[in-house]
Homo-oligomer: A and B are copies of this chain.
Amino acid sequence: MAKPKKTPRPKAETPKGFRDYFGTEVTQRAEMLQAIAGVYHRYGFDALESSAVETVEALGKFLPDVDRPNAGVFAWQEDGEGEKPGDWLALRYDMTAPLARVYAQHRNDLPNPYRRYTMGPVWRNEKPGPGRFRQFYQCDADTVGTASMAADAEICAMLSDTLEEVGIPRGDYIVRINNRKVLNGVMEVAGVLDPSDPDKFAHERGIVLRAIDKLDRLGMEGVRALLGEGRKDDSGDFTDGAGLTDAQADTVMGFMQAKRDTGAATVARLYELVEGSETGKAGVGELETMASLLDAGGYHADRIEIDPSVVRGLGYYTGPVYEAELTFEILDEKGRKRNFGSVAGGGRYDDLVKRFTGQEVPATGVSIGVDRLLAALQAKGRMQSTNPGPVVVTVMDRDRMADYQAMVAELRQAGIRAEVYLGNPKNFGNQLKYADKRASPVAIIEGGDEKERGVVQIKDLILGAKIAETATHEEWKDRPSQFEVPRAQMLAKVQEILNNA
Q: Which A residues fall within an 8 A CB radius of B? A: 9-16, 18-27, 30, 34, 37, 41-44, 46-55, 57-58, 60, 74-76, 78, 87, 89, 91, 101-102, 104-106, 111-113, 115, 121, 123, 134-135, 143, 145-146, 148, 150-151, 153-154, 157, 161, 292-293, 295-298, 355-358, 387, 390, 401-406, 408-409, 412, 415-420, 422-423, 434, 437-438
Taking CB atoms, residues of chain B closer than 8 Å to A101 are: 12-14
Closest B residue to A23 by CB, please name it: B46
Beta-carbon contact of B423 and A145 below 8 Å: yes
Beta-carbon contact of A111 and B437 below 8 Å: yes
CB distance from A48 to the nearest CB of B (A): 6
Given that A20-B102, A135-B51 are known contacts, is A409 also in contact with B298, CB under 8 Å in the complex?
yes
Contact of A15 among B46, B87, B134, B357 (CB under 8 A): B87
CA distance A58 to B12 in the complex (A): 6
CA distance A121 to B151 in the complex (A): 32
Taking CB atoms, residues of chain B closer than 8 Å to A113 are: 422-423
CA distance A387 to B72 in the complex (A): 36
CA distance A112 to B13 in the complex (A): 20
Beta-carbon contact of B74 and A46 below 8 Å: no
Beta-carbon contact of B10 and A355 below 8 Å: yes
A-B contact pairs, 8 of them (CB 8 A): A10-B356, A15-B51, A21-B49, A23-B46, A27-B47, A153-B405, A157-B409, A161-B412
Taking CB atoms, residues of chain B closer than 8 Å to A55 are: 10-11, 13, 15
Contact of A297 among B30, B151, B409 (CB under 8 A): B409
Beta-carbon contact of A23 and B52 below 8 Å: no
Given that A57-B10, A296-B402, A401-B148 are known contacts, is A42 also in contact with B355, CB under 8 Å in the complex?
no
Closest B residue to A56 by CB, please name it: B10
Taking CB atoms, residues of chain B closer than 8 Å to A52 are: 52, 121, 123, 135
Beta-carbon contact of A9 and B356 below 8 Å: yes
CA distance A35 to B277 in the complex (A): 57
Taking CB atoms, residues of chain B closer than 8 Å to A13 are: 55, 58, 101, 105
Taking CB atoms, residues of chain B closer than 8 Å to A57 are: 10-11
CA distance A292 to B27 in the complex (A): 34
CA distance A152 to B34 in the complex (A): 32
Closest B residue to A112 by CB, please name it: B423
Closest B residue to A406 by CB, please name it: B296
Contact of A22 among B48, B297, B408 (CB under 8 A): B48
Taking CB atoms, residues of chain B closer than 8 Å to A408 are: 297
CA distance A51 to B19 in the complex (A): 6
Given that A47-B27, A57-B10, A356-B10 are known contacts, is A89 also in contact with B15, CB under 8 Å in the complex?
yes
Beta-carbon contact of B112 and A434 below 8 Å: yes
Of the candidates A14, A24, A356, A437, the one having the most CB atoms from chain B within 10 angstroms of its own CB is A14
Closest B residue to A298 by CB, please name it: B409
Contact of A53 among B11, B74, B296, B419 (CB under 8 A): B74
Given that A12-B101, A76-B74, A423-B113 are known contacts, is A53 also in contact with B18, CB under 8 Å in the complex?
yes
Beta-carbon contact of A46 and B387 below 8 Å: yes
CB distance from A75 to the nearest CB of B (A): 7
Beta-carbon contact of B42 and A416 below 8 Å: yes
Closest B residue to A409 by CB, please name it: B297
Given that A23-B47, A49-B21, A409-B157 are known contacts, is A105 also in contact with B12, CB under 8 Å in the complex?
yes
